[in-house]
Amino acid sequence: MSVKVFETKEVQELLKAAANLNGGNGNARFQQVVHRLLGDLFKAIDDLDITPDEVWAGVNYLNKLGQDGEAALLAAGLGLEKYLDIRMDAQDKAVGLDGGTPRTIEGPLYVAGAPVCEGLAKIDINADADAGPLVIHGTVTGPDGEPVANAVVECWHANSKGFYSHFDPTGAQTDFNLRGAVKTGADGKYEFRTLMPVGYGCPPHGSTQHLLNGLGRHGNRPAHVHVFVTSDDHRKLTTQFNIEGDPLIWDDFAYATREELIPNVVEKTGGAALGLKDDAYKSIEFNVALTSLVQGKDNQIVNRLRAAATV
Ligand SMILES: [Fe+2]
């Protein structure tokens, strides 16, 4: 039988006590957020008649999610990370800040500490027989359209098995394979010599895929390359571009695809002279337009736990 208890004094007092709302001690913002989220959960239990069995299944799921270390992956898969981007886009619009390369999600697989190279970096450190050579290049410009010197372009992407270095369960990659950082010169140009990535999926037996299975969703991403661009005088850009032609481009489980982030893939020759593994190679031009600081500050810098390594 359905009962409604959420609005009772007893439950409202319980919520306030649990969050220590107005309790004097603790962090007021944290109390406010916990009170709201817990209240939304309690209300959902009431509204949907969520059973004790279902609640405990959820609690145990959180334990498993933590054991698997997949909470950030789930955040991407449930659209939470995309939602934060939608909000930041709306905040930009509200202050009249438009233009610039669109942001998209960072995902959980960045590793800080890649050595910074001037202008160009060759980042295919480990052999990968199934991946062809790829050159990624472009120009970083500011809001005035002029090249930006001393911007640092970082990229990271998967190998031909869909694994990222540092997180590769096969152990086939060293820490900064297919990851790099390039500082632009006066011409604003950067270049990475690397290998073509493929798309990948969530760990098939992990808790993210388990939840997606329950929703009848797949956990796959199209092939893509992650990009950070930092410059002292501009806002940091967090974005990705997709590899043109991937069938999942518009069916990304993490909702990262944007129309402006699908550059053309161009077939080229002359790779041998560039030190690539084959003479025929693919080339992608990905130009980056940075946005201005807002009142002298990067108003949308995102702090989150990130992996780090040293060379
Ligand atoms: Fe990725």
CATH number of the domain encompassing residue 135:
2.60.130.10
pLDDT of residue 172: 93
The pLDDT of residue 24? 82
Query: Do 20 and 112 have their domain in common?
Result: no
Ligand 1 mean position, distance from CA 227 (Å): 10
Q: In this structure, are 62 and 184 located in the same domain?
A: no
Residues 181 and 126 in one domain: yes
224 C-alpha vs ligand 1 centroid, how far in Å? 6
For residue 276, the model assigns a pLDDT of 96
Ligand 1: centre distance to CA 156 (Å): 8
The verdict on 177 and 289 lying in the same domain is yes
Q: Do 281 and 138 belong to one domain?
A: yes
AA letter at 297: K
| 228 shares a domain with 211 | yes
Of 28, 56, 73, the one marking the end of a domain is: 73
Under 8 Å between Cβ of 235 and 290:
yes
Which residues in the chain show pLDDT less than 70? 1
* Structural domain range at position 66: 9-73
pLDDT at 129: 96
d(CA 265, CA 25): 57
From ligand 1's centre to the CA of 151, what distance in Å? 22
pLDDT at res. 2: 83
Q: How far is the CA of 219 from the centre of ligand 1 (A)?
A: 12
DSSP string, 177-194: TTEEEEE--TT-EEEEEE
- C-alpha 167 to ligand 1 mean position (Å): 11
- What's the rounded Cα separation, in Å, for the pair 79 and 223? 18
pLDDT at residue number 22: 82
Q: Token pair for residue 45?
A: 């239990």
In this structure, the strands spanning 307-308 and 111-112 are parallel
- In the reported structure, the alpha carbon of residue 73 is separated from the centroid of ligand 1 by a whole-number distance in angstroms of 10
Give pLDDT, residue 120. Answer: 98
Distance 33 CA to ligand 1 centre (A): 30
Q: State the Cα–Cα distance between residues 153 and 39, nearest whole angstrom.
A: 43
Q: How far is the CA of 42 from the centre of ligand 1 (A)?
A: 35
Question: Is 3 inside any structural domain?
Answer: no
| 108, 160: one domain | yes
The per-residue pLDDT for 36 is: 98
Residue 2 lies in a domain: no
pLDDT given for residue 91 in this prediction: 95
- List pLDDT tens digits, range 195-217: 999 999 999 999 999 999 999 99
Q: Which residue has the tokens 């995309």?
A: 82
* Cα separation, 202 vs 57, whole angstroms: 21
Centre of ligand 1 to C-alpha 121, Å, is 20
Please give the angle made by the CA atoms of 260, 235 and 221, to the nearest 5 degrees. Answer: 40
* 22 and 108 housed in the same domain: no
Expressed in angstroms and rounded, the spacing between residue 143 Cα and the centre of ligand 1 is 27
Number of domains in the chain: 2
CA of residue 221 to ligand 1 center, whole Å: 8
pLDDT at 23: 83
Which residue(s) pair with 4 in the sheet? Answer: none
d(CA 138, CA 62): 42
Beta pairing class for 189-195 and 120-122: parallel
DSSP single-letter state for residue 274: G
158 within 8 A of 200, measured Cβ to Cβ: yes
